[in-house]
């Protein structure tokens, strides 16, 4: 078989695309969005510079929708570009009331990630013009050639996926409480609109005496920063899934549904839920040493630690740790933080973890913030999906517009099964 070999288990060291969307330096704990490879020929610096917007600056000074524009179109927007993008995304927030029936078809206690995965695929059934099998492949070849109508169509799909991500997430949240759905409000930011849809009192709610809900500005800002941090992360498992699926040219909603399914797993986006379950099972700081011993015996997993690429630290975890203190100042300190801090400090000093270059990742602290905000545990991965839709659609658009066209992703394998065998009739089998 032409010398095929398994390059590496789990794509350990395989580059599947060239991209300029996100730059990660795993050895130095660097994350930048929309980097530009600049060859500097100054004598003392011949190497290629990878300039981009450091995640620390974007988290401190930008907004989620501004970063979304940057990731998708490659540059920070002007004022008019940002207001157009914002109004288009918010305009596409509402969903046809048919979708209410779709959500009501789930058991009330279905996992919200299962609902969301199905809901993205359901959305794909709406927008025929997104579906090349109805339109033929020329939809994307035209867009790649710069055809204005095809590009506008592609943008409209992107506005829909980002705008409806919060609406679908809010519907998955409210169906489980038996509460009416909330039409996305106007006059709010993307994140405030999301928080409003989650907890706004419908007329039925008011009858049940629930208190009125206003998104707290500190919590809305904290969620916006968390959305910026989760927006993209180059070729993680879910983004790779979106591109693998997208490479056969289904509608983009179906590709995003596939990415959502990948993010559901506890090794990926489900880790923030797994961290809280882990901390609750540890119970208190005094049980941390015994827990870490169980991890070393591979009886337990230290969720929220380790990363395929970051081998020193995940820069996002430092930013999230600070956001946690700001949130706790509003919501009150979660006693689970004591166990989290004890676990964090003990693992970072333990040779077993140090020798394996295991450090806290983006999920170690985020679950504590979502818990302080009052979200149910199994809703935490949904809060990862909403911002990651932006990274998925940015990579999808980059692939669809690649000048060399879209090539279906079809890796090979190394066959290790039995050699040729003859068929044995049933009556002769033992
Ligand atoms: C995200 O890819 C991305 O960018 C993902 C993400 C994004 O933004 O999209 O950053 C988001 O998914 C973060 C990761 C969330 N997952 C978790 O926190 C789950 C716990 N982490 C592990 O499952 C693990 O660290 C992974 C899955 C994240 C990475 O797995 P790898 O790359 O296969 O781990 P590895 O091969 O580098 O492990 C090296 C060693 C192994 O030990 P040995 O077999 O060599 O003795 O470290 C061990 C692993 O067993 N190890 C762990 C561990 N993670 C790795 N041991 C205990 N606890 C852990 N968490």
pLDDT at 210 over 70: no
Q: Whose CA is nearest to atom 43 of ligand 1?
A: 356
Atom 53, ligand 1: residue with shortest CA distance: 306
CA–CA dist 56, 64 (Å, integer): 13
Q: Which atom of ligand 1 is nearest to the CA of 269?
A: 12
Cβ-count burial of 165 within 10 angstroms (0-12 exposed, 13-18 middle, 19+ buried)? buried
The rounded distance, in Å, linking the Cα atoms of 190 and 89 is 8
- ipTM, interface predicted TM-score of the complex: 0.96
Atom 40 (ligand 1) nearest CA:
356
Among 19-28, 40-49, 266-275, 421-430, the least confident range = 40-49
Q: What is the pTM of this model?
A: 0.92
Q: What per-residue confidence (pLDDT) applies to 150?
A: 87
Pocket lining: 303 vs ligand 1, CB cutoff 6 Å: yes
Cα-based torsion angle of the residue sequence 11, 272, 266, 336 in order, rounded to the nearest 10 degrees: 130
The CA 202 to ligand 1 mean position distance, Å, reads 42
Tell me: the pLDDT tens digits for 216-227? 899 999 999 999
pLDDT in tens, 312-354: 999 999 999 999 999 999 999 999 999 999 999 999 999 999 9
Tell which wins on pLDDT, 257 or 98: 257
The tokens for 32 are 């930048």
Alpha-carbon distance values, 226 to 25, 93, 105, 219, 317 (Å): 20, 20, 31, 10, 10
Q: Note the pLDDT of residue 86.
A: 97
- All residues at 6 or more sequence positions from 278 whose CB lies less than 8 Å from its CB, including other chains: 291, 300, 301, 302, 303, 304
How far does the centroid of ligand 1 lie from the alpha carbon of residue 340, in Å? 18
Both tokens assigned to 259 = 């990415």
279 alpha carbon – ligand 1 mean position (Å): 18
Q: How far apart are CA 260 and CA 238, in angstroms?
A: 7
- Residue 361 CA: nearest ligand 1 atom is 13
Is the confidence at residue 371, as pLDDT, over 50? Answer: yes
Q: Is the pLDDT of residue 38 over 70?
A: no
Q: So what's the pLDDT on residue 5?
A: 67
DSSP string, 205-242: HHHTTPPP----HHHHHHHHHHHHHHS--SS-HHHHHH
Q: What is the pLDDT of residues 78-128, one digit of tens each?
A: 999 999 999 999 999 999 888 889 999 999 899 999 999 999 999 888 875
Tens digit of each residue's pLDDT (9 = 90 or more) over 271-310: 999 999 999 999 999 999 999 999 999 999 999 999 999 9
H/E stretch holding 15: none
How far, in Å, is the centroid of ligand 1 from the Cα of 263? 14
DSSP class per residue in 123-165: HHTT-GGG-HHHH-THHHHHHHTT-HHHHHHHHHHHHHHHHHH
Mean pLDDT of the chain: 89
Give the integer Cα–Cα distance in Å for 393 and 163: 12
Q: Which residue has the tokens 């789990």?
A: 10
């Amino acid at each position: 078989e032409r010398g095929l070999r398994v390059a590496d288990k789990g794509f350990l060291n395989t580059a599947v695309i060239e991209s300029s969307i996100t730059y990660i330096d795993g050895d130095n704990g660097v994350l930048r969005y929309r980097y530009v490879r600049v060859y500097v020929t100054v004598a003392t610096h011949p190497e290629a510079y990878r300039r981009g917007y450091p995640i620390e600056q974007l988290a401190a000074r930008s907004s989620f929708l501004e970063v979304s524009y940057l990731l998708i179109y490659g540059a920070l927007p002007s004022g008019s570009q940002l207001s157009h993008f914002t109004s288009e995304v918010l305009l596409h927030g509402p969903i046809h009331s048919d979708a209410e029936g779709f959500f009501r078809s789930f058991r009330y206690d279905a996992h919200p990630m299962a609902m969301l995965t199905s809901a993205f695929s359901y959305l794909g059934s709406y927008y025929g013009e997104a579906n090349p099998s109805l339109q033929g492949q020329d939809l994307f070849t035209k867009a790649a050639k710069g055809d204005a109508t095809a590009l506008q169509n592609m943008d409209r799909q992107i506005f829909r996926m980002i705008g409806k991500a919060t609406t679908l997430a809010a519907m998955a949240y409210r169906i489980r409480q038996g509460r009416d759905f909330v039409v996305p409000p106007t006059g709010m930011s993307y994140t405030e609109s999301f928080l409003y849809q989650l907890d706004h009192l419908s007329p039925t709610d008011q009858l049940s005496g629930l208190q009125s809900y206003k998104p707290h500005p500190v919590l809305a800002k904290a969620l916006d920063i968390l959305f910026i941090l989760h927006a993209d992360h180059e070729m993680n498992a879910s983004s790779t899934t979106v591109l693998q699926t997208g490479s056969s040219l289904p509608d983009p909603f179906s590709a995003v549904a596939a990415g959502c399914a990948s993010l559901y797993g506890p090794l990926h986006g489900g880790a923030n839920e797994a961290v809280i379950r882990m901390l609750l099972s540890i119970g208190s700081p005094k049980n941390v040493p015994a827990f870490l011993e169980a991890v070393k015996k591979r009886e337990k997993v230290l969720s929220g630690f380790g990363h395929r690429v970051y081998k020193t630290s995940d820069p996002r975890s430092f930013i999230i740790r600070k956001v946690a203190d700001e949130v706790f100042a509003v919501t009150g300190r979660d006693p689970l933080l004591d166990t989290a801090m004890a676990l964090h400090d003990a693992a970072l000093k333990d040779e077993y973890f140090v020798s394996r270059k295991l450090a806290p990742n983006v999920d170690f602290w985020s679950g504590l913030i979502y818990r302080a905000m009052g979200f149910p545990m199994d809703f935490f991965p949904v809060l990862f999906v909403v911002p990651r839709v932006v990274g998925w659609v940015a990579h999808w658009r980059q692939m669809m517009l690649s000048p060399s066209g879209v090539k279906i992703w079809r890796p090979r394998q190394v066959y290790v099964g039995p050699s040729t065998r003859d068929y044995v009739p049933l009556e002769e089998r033992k």
